Amino acid sequence: MALRWTNTLTRDDVTPEAVFLNRRQILAGLGAGAMTGLSAPAQAQAGLEPNDWDDITSYCNYYEFGTGKSDPSKNAHMLTTSPWTVTIDGLVERPGDYALEDILSQMTIEERIYRFRCVEAWSMVVPWNGFELADLLDLAGVKPGANYVAFETVYRPEEMPGTRFPVLDWPYVEGLRLDEARHPLTIMATGLYGRDLPNQNGAPLRLVVPWKYGFKSIKSVVRITLTEDEPPASWNRANPREYGFYSNVNPNVDHPRWSQATERKIGAGLFARRQPTLMFNGYEEDVAALYKGMDLAEFF
């Protein structure tokens, strides 16, 4: 059984960016467990240096704004993020259109430091702010028979120049099994470093599933649907041979076009040594029980 921790923090508890950027000095003086403002999952990752703001906000995958890593930071300012409404429907007791400010008023925002990976064997350590997806699902009420949670990104070609090209079948969609969605590591992020989430990083509300490849963490979410059957996922639908529905970080299963056994941290420099990729991105102890008995090479 995975460890369950309880939300107890608010926005006022978030560690300031300046503290993060001097983390080595603080850790040397206080020890990782003594840092104020850190939630339990953040403490578990305290040995990892967070990337700085520029790394996180300038090296992005958000194809709705372009396929280059710097395209989102150049183009995402065009996206209008306020007001924002999330439609929650399907097998829920209280379906409807939920204003983001109403959602946030009922959630405990806490700080999480996650090692966030994407598909090209690169990694970042990101100090997200957000709330557990499970809390939002409880707000809507999950009906019996729901097995999966489907997500949909906003689709506005007039604001999202990348959607004018058939890179994917727009809008972007993703999905999780319900037990994955309810795991306490699965969050809806609303910010990073205690600031509002930048547009290029998925403002104003994005999914973060830290044991899966980054493309699984859908950005700028406008719809959440509870379903009985496995929902479509954009990359899995585009190329199922290369992108499985589960998309768990598994260094023992290569992408057909490259190895996923090692990774490099963004910001470490061109000549930084690659490091071994960890099973489930280092969260094996927390999430392996979700996949007990499954063939992770077949269900990749």
Q: What is the pLDDT of residues 199-255, one digit of tens each?
A: 999 999 999 999 999 999 999 999 999 999 999 999 999 999 999 999 999 999 988
pLDDT value for 42: 43
Is residue 37 scored above 90 in pLDDT? no
Is residue 58 scored above 70 in pLDDT? yes
Tokens of 161: 């120049």
pLDDT value for 5: 35
Among candidate residues 30, 206, 203, 41, the one with its CA nearest the CA of residue 114: 41
Domains of the chain and CATH, by start: 11-291 (3.90.420.10)
Is residue 13 scored above 60 in pLDDT? no
pTM: 0.87
- What is the DSSP track for 73-113? HHHGGG---SS-EEEEEESBSS-EEEEHHHHHHTS--EEEE
pLDDT value for 116: 87
Is residue 40 scored above 80 in pLDDT? no
Is residue 285 scored above 90 in pLDDT? yes
Tokens of 28: 């040397």
Better-predicted residue by pLDDT, 137 or 32: 137
pLDDT value for 45: 54
Q: Which long-range contacts (CB under 8 A, 24 or more apart) does 258-263 make?
A: 258/120, 258/121, 259/121, 260/121, 262/121, 263/117, 263/121, 263/122, 263/123
Is residue 38 scored above 70 in pLDDT? no
Of 13-27, 67-81, 104-118, 171-185, the one with minimum mean pLDDT is: 13-27
